[in-house]
Structure 1
Amino acid sequence: RAAFGVQYTWVFPNMTFAAGMDVLWIYEAYPLGVDCCQVYQSICVPPETAALPGFEKKIAAYYQRFDAGIEEDIPALVNQQRGLASSDARQGRFQPHLEANVASFAKWYADQWLRQS
């Protein structure tokens, strides 16, 4: 399954990239203030792929897909920012009993670092 899928990786604090069989794409987010950021999207393909006949038509479909993805993410991010700006929002640790996926990732990430030590 992994050979045909896409692997997502996060480079904290501001980068996400995903690698598939045919393309690598990167999202970078840079804060511009307390309530906004600039997002850059990059798409990388091997030079051999870019030299193929019909490449421009094929890559246009990828651009459309990635643009649609970020457009779907924006409303969720706006809502997240609204929550962070709430007077009820508090800084603090993850809540493992409320966010099992976040806790699971944090544990996995810590284990990777400990394994390298």
Structure 2
Amino acid sequence: MDNNTDNQEYPIPDLSYLRDMTDGDEESLKEVISIFLEEAPGLMKLMKDSADSGDHDSLKFSTHKLITQLTYVGITSVVPDVKLINTGSSKMSDLHERVERIIRVVEHSMVYLRTLI
């Protein structure tokens, strides 16, 4: 994979919304990022396990929480997929592929976010 493709699939999180939300306060920004870094792995696991087991209620719960958190920390490239899963996972033929892509993008973004705290 070349760098352009890599950057398109794994864009750097856009923290402009979070900076606005925290009025540019670096400590508050770091706190929100830290909370995301603590909670995201569990939500990713719940999302994957729920998709694997066909538990659409748990999948709806995990994706609902993720939509807000991903928006806060600027991992917006996967939000449309997370919203699709949230509203119609039981009808999706590519559910597992979308879940795997979301996990890859979020994990890649988390590496970057860790450098900020």
Indicate the TM-score class for this superposition, using the shorter chain for normalisation.
0.3 to 0.5
TM-score (norm 1): 0.33
The higher relative CO (CA closer than 8 Å, separation ≥ 6) is in 2
- Greater share of helix residues, 1 or 2? 2
TM-score (norm 2): 0.33
- Greater share of strand residues, 1 or 2? 1
Structure number with greater Rg is: 1
